[in-house]
Amino acid sequence: MSRILITGGAGFIGGYLAEACAASGHRVTIADNFARGVRDPFLAELEKRGVEITQMDLLEQEWALPDDFEIVVHFAAIIGVRHVLERPYSVLRDNVALTDRAISFGRRQKKLTRFLFASTSEVMAGSLIHLNMPLPTPEDFPLALTDLAQPRTSYMLSKIYGEAMCQHSGIPFTIIRPHNIYGPRMGLSHVVPELLKKSYEKRDGEDLAIASADHSRAMCYISDAVQLIQRLLFADAASGGTFNIGNSETEVTIGDLARIIVSATGRKLNLIAEPAVAGSPSRRCPDMSKTIRVTGYTPSVGVEQGVRLTFDWYKQNVFAASGVSAL
């Protein structure tokens, strides 16, 4: 079994990946500064199962960690539209610095077999605007930039730069581009839990504002995403490759997603369409054929089922219980 380090592993995808890898018998260490993640019961249970959780500043030049990790998974980054819009310079500077620290750490490992870098579907935002980009979108379609003055471009640029760093790092890497992963524990600043909370707290007959209602996203439930990522970690054919993580069969408009969310909460609300969020891509859907071929796994959780599972978790652990949630 492998020894695995997951940076940013206290968060959403990293936490569930840590759980899956530990359940498969691997030795897992999470390194996180807890700027957004929280020490919730999920993490406490991971520690009981033997997952080591280290709180540290990942922007330090040298990480005080062992050099015997076979796999390094790099999720640590400043993410979330609100954070990107409020501090774009920090996003660009710190995300690139974090990737540099992670790659430097990977180079120090004596038996490194894989460095997995979490990029983003956002790298295709400029291609959608400027090029005749196909949808669903394959990983090898050329990248184009959005306006450099737009705050959201800072996040996209930090991930494109990170992908290039991996390509030239000299270590065995895999790049993933997550497409709208959602589920329990993801934090309330993302569209599904944010709308679930707003809908849950409203009374029948009230209005619910929906931004970018006519934009569409292919939604992927967390359990499907984790299956794909974990399989890529150990697939020889994934070394040196870039892979979409998502579900091309679940594309839905934000307006229709909101209707599914309101139905899950049992409310009867009036949905009010508002202007699109600045810089938000009008459509996002990944071509999953390459990832499915390499992993042998096809995502299977539909939007209605995934939203219901997400709501049940939030209602039990946060909304009705005053529990903690990531930012």
CATH number of the domain encompassing residue 16 = 3.40.50.720
15 closest CA partner among 44, 64, 109, 60: 44
The 3-state DSSP class for residue 221 equals strand
In a domain, 94, yes or no: yes
Would you say residue 182 has pLDDT above 70? yes
pLDDT band per the 50, 70, 90 thresholds, residue 326: low
| H-state helical runs in 211-253 | 222-233
Domain annotation covers residue 91: yes
Residue 65 confidence (pLDDT): 97
pTM of the model: 0.96
Q: For the CA atoms of 106, 112, 117, 118, what is the dihedral angle to 10 degrees?
A: -110
Q: What is the mean pLDDT of the chain?
A: 96
**Residue 192, domain member (yes or no):** no
Is the pLDDT reported for residue 114 higher than 80? yes
In this prediction, residues 73-82 reach a mean pLDDT of 90
Q: Has residue 278 been placed in a domain?
A: no
Report CA-CA distances (Å) from 256 to 65, 192, 224, 259: 46, 12, 21, 5
Quote the number of domains for the chain.
1
Is 227 a domain residue? Answer: yes
In a domain, 27, yes or no: yes
What does the pLDDT read at residue 327?
Answer: 56
Residue 42 has pLDDT above 90, yes or no: yes
Mean pLDDT of 116-124: 97
113: confidence class by pLDDT, cuts 50, 70, 90: very high
Ranking 94-98, 292-296, 315-319 by mean pLDDT, the lowest is 315-319
Beta bridge partners of 71: 4, 114
Residue type, 104: S
Q: What pLDDT was estimated at residue 69?
A: 98
4: pLDDT strictly greater than 60 = yes
Which 3-state string (H, E, C) describes 219-286? CEEHHHHHHHHHHHHCCHHHCCCEEEECCHHHEEEHHHHHHHHHHHHCCCCEEEEECCCCCCCCEECE
- pLDDT tens track for 254-291: 999 999 999 999 999 999 999 998 778 899 999 999 99
Q: Which residues span the domain enclosing 41?
A: 3-186+220-249+285-299
Residue at 142 is within a domain: yes
**Measured CA angle at 15 (ends 193, 48), to 5 deg:** 120
On whether residue 160 sits in a domain, the answer given is yes
Q: Looking at residue 94, what is its pLDDT?
A: 97
Query: How does pLDDT run across 188-236, given as a tens digit for each residue?
Result: 889 999 999 999 999 999 999 999 999 999 999 999 999 999 999 999 9
